[in-house]
Amino acid sequence: MSGTNLRNMGAGGALLLVAGSSAAVLLLIACANDGMDASEPAAPRDDGGAGVIEDASRPNDDLDGAADPGAGIAVDSGEAGVDPCTVDWCKTPLPIPDGGKLSLMDVWVPAPNDAWAVSEQGLVLRWNGTLWSVVWDAGKPLYGVWGDHEGALWAVGGQGAIFHAPNGTGWAEIPSGVTTDLLGICEGARDAERPRNVAIVGSSGTVLRWSGETGEDGHPSWTTSSPGAMLDLHHVWCAGFDIWVSGQSTDWLSYGGALFLDKGDGWERQTVGAGTENYASGNTFSSVWAYDRQNVWLRGGRGFVHGTASLTDPALKWSEQRVTMSGGLKRISDIWGSGPNDVWFAGTFGRIHHWDGSELAITATTNSWDVLASHLHAVSGSGPDDVWVVGENVALHRNVDKGAQK
């Protein structure tokens, strides 16, 4: 019997199997039928409007490639207050008030033993290799964080908020000229024409850009552009000089996922589909990550969409692997990779998937039969062995010592 089938039966069924008798087998079947929801949240998951509902009484059949959560997992006691590791991830202690909530919305990892996160409660946190601490309170919801080449930190958030901290200290608000929520920020490559190349995406469909010019007050002079009308933009990613923006068209004539690319000469809308299949139709693209123009990933309401191309045939060829997620959240998923064959996906209901170049598989996030209940909002890292995932009351660090635990 496979590990997946054992996982579906629940913890009670697996214990009964040890007895090995006919009676135990009959009890195992009964327990399996009665306890199928032991490994999933009780409420059904929806895709945020894409019309696909995942049965919450069973794990995802097509991509649930995690090893049996009860097999081969050693507990790493760690320091006091640090939760034990699973085979794939370690929980890290967070400064959460008693009975409080800490919604970590984004994470930036400049180097090993150094990470920054921002929360919807307006807090900026830093990991020093041992623990997380609050370093600043913005007083406004924060949704995105980024570090630039000079070691400065940027954070964006509600009502057009942009904050800047040279060397991570002295946080100060920078006028943005907009009042809509700002959800993501990144900076691309620079050249003589663009000494700075910052892009910020807002929920209203507006993108703010900064090429290095400043006003009389010394603050950045932002220029605004929009890839099109009637758009909700959710995410921005910088790859070299390319700026990728994903979201959703609210125009009933072209309702669905929207992906745009600016190569430096204006926005181009990307066609996302294969043959007669239109992966954008009725969908939403909540996040985008690109290694280059030949390797692009999207997170849609129905699943992951992968675009590949070659230098001889630059047109992206798209394929889709379905995994539903919950909607209605400010940041419902994120994608980050160290390369085209090492890509991580963080999403709702504790799901973390990994692409190794040939297979997309879910990874273990708990030591028990229950899945991690927290919604996960962001993933980032400084390299393949230093990956962070953050979300609702949780910050997970990739467990690179898992081989020694088996």
pLDDT at 315: 93
Q: Does 102 lie in the same domain as 14?
A: no
Q: Does 187 lie in the same domain as 312?
A: yes
Q: Does 20 lie in the same domain as 97?
A: no
Q: Does 27 lie in the same domain as 161?
A: no
One-letter amino acid identity for 135? V
**Domain range holding 34?**
3-39
| 160 within some domain | yes
Give the three-state DSSP class for 25: helix
Residue among 367, 312, 304, 307 nearest 335 (CA): 304
Backbone phi and psi for residue 313, each to the nearest 5 degrees, phi listed first: -135, 85
Q: Total structural domains in the chain? A: 2
Q: Does 107 lie in the same domain as 15?
A: no
CATH number, domain at 128?
2.130.10.10
C-alpha angle 321/288/204, rounded to 5°?
125
| 244 within some domain | yes
pLDDT tens, residue by residue, 20-67: 433 333 333 333 344 333 333 333 333 333 333 333 333 333 343 333
Q: Does 103 lie in the same domain as 31?
A: no
Q: Does 116 lie in the same domain as 27?
A: no
One-letter amino acid identity for 32? A
Q: How far is CA 187 from CA 15, 104, 171, 196, 210, in A?
A: 52, 21, 19, 8, 9
C-alpha angle 266/163/387, rounded to 5°?
80
| 166 within some domain | yes
| 84 within some domain | no
Phi-psi region of 179 (alpha: psi -120 to 50; beta: other; left: phi over 0): alpha
Q: Does 93 lie in the same domain as 32?
A: no
Q: How far is CA 92 from CA 87, 266, 392, in A?
A: 15, 42, 13
pLDDT at 98: 78
| 104 within some domain | yes
Q: Does 106 lie in the same domain as 34?
A: no
Q: Does 360 lie in the same domain as 216?
A: yes
| 347 within some domain | yes
The C-alpha atoms of residue 231 and residue 282 are separated, in whole angstroms, by 14
Q: pLDDT tens string for the chain (406 positions)?
A: 433 333 333 333 333 333 343 333 333 333 334 433 333 333 333 333 333 333 333 333 334 333 333 333 333 333 444 457 888 999 999 999 877 899 999 999 999 999 999 999 999 999 999 999 999 999 999 999 999 988 999 999 999 999 999 989 999 999 999 999 999 999 999 999 889 999 999 888 989 999 999 999 999 999 998 898 899 999 999 999 999 999 999 888 888 999 999 998 899 999 999 988 999 998 889 999 999 999 999 998 888 999 999 989 999 999 998 776 555 555 678 999 999 999 999 988 888 999 999 999 989 888 766 678 889 999 999 999 999 999 999 999 999 887 544 3
Give the three-state DSSP class for 230: coil
DSSP category for residue 36: G
Q: Does 208 lie in the same domain as 144?
A: yes
Tokens of 343: 């890509």
Q: Does 320 lie in the same domain as 399?
A: yes
Backbone phi and psi for residue 70, each to the nearest 5 degrees, phi listed first: -100, 0
Sign of the CA dihedral 76, 108, 285, 138?
positive
| 291 within some domain | yes
The C-alpha atoms of residue 273 and residue 317 are separated, in whole angstroms, by 8
| 344 within some domain | yes
